[in-house]
Amino acid sequence: MYPYLLKGDSFTIGTYGVMLAIAYLTGRYLYIKQLNAASESPINTELLIISLLVFGVIGAKIMFLIKNPDQLSNDLTTGLLNGSGFSSQGAILAAVIVTVAFAKFTHTKLSLLLDNAAVPAIIAYLLARIGCFLAGDDCYGIASDLPWAMSFPEGVAATHEEVHPVPLYEIAYSLIIWQLIVRYQKQPRKPFETFFLLFFCWGLCRFLVEFISANPVKLLGMSGSQFGALVMFLIASAFFTKSFLSDKKKPG
């Protein structure tokens, strides 16, 4: 594991933080590139990207504290400003809300913004999970005796027990989702289909992975992340079901 690129008495550069920065810059580049190629009129992409970054971080922190209230100190401000503890699902929810608001106030097609975010989002997530793996944080899974089980003795959240390397599983399914979306986009699609395909695949994969995650059970026998993933999957399933039924009702 390589949790730190540089660690000194007064200055530390963490691998996870560096990978988050790379994830953001890569996602930003891809999103702007896709929007400029798909849009017939100029979009204030800088305002959108900055808003996504700021509120994405805030959403990720708030969702983490909702899922893990025990991590919230008596001082609310300290809990919110702590540099660790973020939820990808909180970031996703905040990003969707920001995108909806941006579309409304700038009179931009919401489907254009959401559909073109699918590939940048999953690639950014993939890169962030590489950071989780390299840092050896507490995103690993339960104990396992499988041949590829790993220990993280030098990790930020060190463990000498062999466990499921959950970040590697997430990297693997993110690669699959990325390629699936790229292939899916090669044919004309109805508005929002690409976005909800991301939600469908992402939600399903995360839901399944959470069965071997070390995240504690929080709600209805599920971890907070597993419950969130189930909600994503169900929302996407409802969208595709409605779309399918609508197509069947069309004449001829």
Residue 126's nearest CA partner among 233, 4, 52, 24 is 24
**Whether this model's pTM surpasses 0.85:** yes
Quote the pLDDT of residue 40: 81
Quote the pLDDT of residue 78: 46
Query: In degrees to the nearest 10, what's the CA dihedral of 215, 151, 16, 28?
Result: -70
The mean pLDDT value for 50-68 works out to: 84
Query: In degrees to the nearest 10, what's the CA dihedral of 175, 215, 225, 172?
Result: 10
Looking up tokens 């993110």, which residue turns up? 174
pLDDT digits (tens, 9 = 90+) for 104-149: 999 999 999 999 999 999 999 999 999 999 998 888 899 999 999 9
Quote the pLDDT of residue 252: 55
Judge whether residue 73 has pLDDT over 80.
Answer: no
Looking up tokens 């790379």, which residue turns up? 22
Token digits of residue 230: 């189930």
Return the beta strands (E) in the chain as ranges: 4-7, 12-14, 150-152, 159-163, 217-219, 222-223
Judge whether residue 168 has pLDDT over 50.
Answer: yes
Judge whether residue 208 has pLDDT over 90.
Answer: yes
* Interatomic CA distance for residues 16 and 88, integer angstroms: 14
Partners of 163 in the β-ladder: 143, 150
Long-range contacts formed by 151-158: CB under 8 A, 24+ apart? 152/1, 153/1, 154/1, 154/3, 155/1, 155/3, 156/3, 156/14, 156/16
Cβ-in-10-Å burial (0-12, 13-18, 19+) of 46 comes to: exposed
Quote the pLDDT of residue 70: 67
